[in-house]
Structures are given as C-alpha cells and as structure tokens.
Amino acid sequence: MACEDGCHLDCEGHVRRDMLKVGVLGLFGLGLHDLFWMKQAQAEMAAAEKVSAAKEGRAPVKAAPSDGSADQVILIWTAGGMSHIDTLDPKPEAPDNIRGGYRAIATKAPGMQLAEPFVNLAKVAGDVCLIRSMTTNEGAHERGTHYMMTGFPPLPGFGVPSYGSVVAKLMTKRGALPPYIAVPSPVLYGGAGFLGAALDPFSPGGDPGQAGFRVRDLQPEGNLTFERVDRRRTLREAVDASFKQYEASSDAARTVDQFYQAAYGVISSTEARAAFDLTKEPAAMRERYGRDSFGQSLLLSRRLIEAGVRFVTVQNGGWDMHQQVMRNMAGKLPALDRSLAALLGDLKERGLLQRTVVLMMGEFGRTPHINENAGRDHYPTVFSLLAAGGGFQGGVVVGASDKQGTEVADRPVTPPDLSATLYSCLGLDYSTELHSPAGIRILLSRGGTPISEALA
C-alpha cells in the first residue's frame, strides 16, 4: 500500500523512506548543534578504533582501494518481499494454488526460466545470476530487512552498518559526490549504524520520474546564490580562526570542519550537480528505462556510478501482497522487467557491467500457497535474488527450491554468505573487523562463505 505522498508502507506500517531526514549536504538545513551530534559518533568510533588497534598490536582499519572485480554497486531493494514463484523461480508443474497465473518462459541462458512478464530480462539472462536458495528465519519486515541489508540478524540496541556504509568507509572516495547515495530515499536499516551519521546515505529527495525533479541541497535555499554561499564560507573560516586551539584538542570539532568542507565541495562542484541532471540524457534513453519513478531512478543510479559514487540503493517498494497477488503483480512486473533489462543492457554497452555489482533483493519471499484473499504471505524459508556484473557469473542458477517452492532443495544461501560474496567481489576482506565506540567488534561477514558457484 502507499501513503499520501506516494511512499510505500508494508503490512507492519513501516514507511520506506528516509528515516533520519538527513543527507550529507546539511549545509542549509542543519544547525551547528546537529552537526556536532552527527559527527560525535564518528569521532568516538575513530578514537575507539585507534585505542583498540594499539592494544591489539594491529593497524587501524583504513580505507583501501578495491582489488576485486568490481568497484561499485547498484542495489535494487524490492521492499515488502517479492514472490519468488511469480518472478524468478516459477513452478510450472505445481498445482494451481501454488503456481499462480504465470507460465514459465525460456531465456537466453540455457536452463534458466523466468515468469512470463520478464520478456526483456529473458533477453539479457546471459548476464544474470539467479540465487534461488536464499533462506533466513526472519519473517517480519523490519527484522528481515536488517538481516538482508547488513548480513546480521537484528542485535538489540546495536546499530550494525549496512553494506553501503561499510563500502563508503573502506573504499577510497572518488570525486565530489558522496560515496553512498539512496534513490529516491534510503532503505530501512540502510544506514551507517555505529559508524556514524556521516556515512549514512545521501538522499536526493523528490521523485526522479517527475518533471522538474530537483535534488535537495544541491542548489542554495531560498534567495541564496552561490556567491552568498561563498561569502558565508569565508565568514565561517574567519570564525574558525578563533577556535583553532579548541579544534587542536577536539576530534568532534575537526570532524565537523571536515563535514562542512565536504558539503561545500559537493554544492560547488558542477560535475556533482550535473550527475543528478537527468535532462542531459537523450530522450530515447529515458524512454528505454521508462518514464516512471523506478525507471528514472535506475537511470540516475547509472549516472551516479559513472560520476564516481561507490554504492547506490534504489527503492522499488510495494511487494507486500497479502491480497490479489496476481492483479498487483500485473501492475508492477512489466515496469520492473523493462527498467531492469535497460539498466543491465546500458551498463554492458558502456563497459561498466564488469565493474558494477547489480543486486536485486528484498527481505524475504512469499508463501507458495495462495491464501484465501488471493494473496501470498511472508515467507523467509526460501526465496530468490538476482545478481549481475562485478564478478558474478552470468547465465547461471545457484541453488534450488523444491518442486513447490516450499523448502531449499539444494545449496542453501544465507545473508552472511551473501555479504561475504559481495565484499569479495569488491576486493574487501570479509574477515575485516569493525569496532563500535563501545568497543564491540564485528566482522564484515560473521560466519559467511563466498558463494563460489555464483562467481566468475
């Protein structure tokens, strides 16, 4: 279902949009007190990491360039939980109350079938890896989202960083744009957790599919001009000169200064502003992706990674279909098929697919049996995800569900396995430790093993 402003809610009432209402460009919307609050956690975390590393005789965790196949990620989040049987894992031989209304169609990848609405995706299936044996024990939206977005089951009172925030911390920043961007709004549990708000995703705000789409904070507010922003920056530097002695002894003050410098770097960069300008795309390309919110969000994600962004999440909600699953699928699958196939084809044509991981996943699947309301309910026992590019092998299916899509029949894959695989593709050691300000240590992937069958 959708709320009044068009955002999607699931059956538990969670809104899939920016939970913090904060981007990395708070120069015009946040006061100094807010900035100190945001940066304090990062400063404390950095200090704790230095202390822990010294005690343990190791070097602190630092950003490092990737030596894997990929150096950037586009994560498509199907919020609500997409039905695997009606999409990526059709069961043409199952009874009617399981099979649903779609037949299975062949694809360009031998032996790989998809549900019939995926006519365009079928043509690029040679670049697609399907994982049909994802499994968790988290059947609630919030808990399932946490598990899939971080690789960790929910830990009470402890904010585990999401994939995008980890990548933003550990991989070298490129250019003026933030390393982690969420389009059009952040995913629940897609933030930085104990790494600090500075590594939360920047959200452009607004709908890229709407005419006149404008990115929040990339233009000065109200009657401010860039010249006035420059004058304010000069004034701030003059004030800062009076506080150098304080800054010398305060990590928080230094990190606030770095925050302002980064914010100014983005709003003053013509390249950064241009990356968000969809009007620079040919009309034919915009039509290819589709002129709706999802299609233009995917097109924007391609522009962003071209401009140096490391990690982009794209929201595609509305999959929580407890009622009338076939009717609701009919309204969503053709657009998903068109836009996803356009992204994969466009990335390949530009020579970007081999260095870009594309993931499409949600928090769980749906029940094999259609319920009394012609819908499907939450089902984490077995579900599917799609991966492409960036070290994933195209044209393969990993794992399998049984004949009715009820249980894992072959090669169970867990969120920790997925996290180990993703980090490996990016050249990051998935056994790397991260430290919270309280001194708690976590591994990037706890107990996970890369999915070798999925890797090229």
The ranges assigned to domains in the chain are 32-222+249-454
The DSSP 8-state label assigned to residue 359 in this structure reads E
Distances (CA, A) of 340 to 54, 117, 213, 335: 47, 12, 21, 8
d(CA 182, CA 191): 10
State the average pLDDT for the chain: 83
Contact between 456 and 393 (Cβ < 8 Å):
yes
Mean pLDDT, residues 300-327 taken together: 97
Sign of CA dihedral 59, 63, 69, 70: positive
> What is residue 398's predicted lDDT score, i.e. its pLDDT?
98
Closest listed residue to residue 380, CA positions, set 403, 408, 402, 339 = 408
> pLDDT digits over 199-251, tens only?
999 988 889 998 888 776 555 555 545 455 455 445 545 555 554 554 554 54
Per-residue burial over 168-189, b = 16 or more CB atoms within 10 Å of its CB, e = otherwise? bbbbebeebbbbbbbbbbbbbb
Q: Give the 3-state secondary structure of residue 312.
A: strand
Report pTM: 0.82
> What is residue 331's predicted lDDT score, i.e. its pLDDT?
94
Say if strands 311-315 and 356-361 run parallel, antiparallel, or are unpaired.
unpaired
**Angle at alpha carbon of residue 25, lines to 22 and 30, rounded to 5°:** 60
Fold entry, domain 32-222+249-454: Alkaline Phosphatase, subunit A (3.40.720)
Is the pLDDT at 265 greater than 90, yes or no? no
